[in-house]
Chains A and B, each alone.
Chain A
Amino acid sequence: MTAAVEARTPPAGARRPAGRRVADHGAWFLVLPALVPVLLLSVGPLLYGIGLAFTDAQSGRTSATRWIGALNFRDLLHDTLFWESFRIGLVWAAGVTVPQFLLALGLALLLNADLRLRGLARALAIVPWAMPEVVVGIMWRLVYNPDAGVLNETLRDLGLGTGRDWLSGLATALPAVIVVGVWAGLPQTTVALLAGLQNVPRELHEAAAVDGAGAWRRFRTVTWPALRPVALAITALNLIWNLNSFALVYVLTNGGPGGKTRLPMLFAYEEAFRYGQFGYAAAMGCVLVAVVAVLLAVFLAGRLRGGEEA
Chain B
Amino acid sequence: MDEILEILSKDARLRPEEIARLTGKNASNIKKTINQYEKDGTIIQYKAVINQDIARANQSFVRALIEVSITPQKDVGFDHIAERIYSFPEVLSCYLVSGSYDLLIVVEGDNIQTVSNFVAAKLSPMENVRQTTTHFLLKKYKEDGQILKKAPQRKQLNISY
Q: Tell me whether A and B are bound partners.
A: no
Identify the A interface with B (CB < 8 A): none
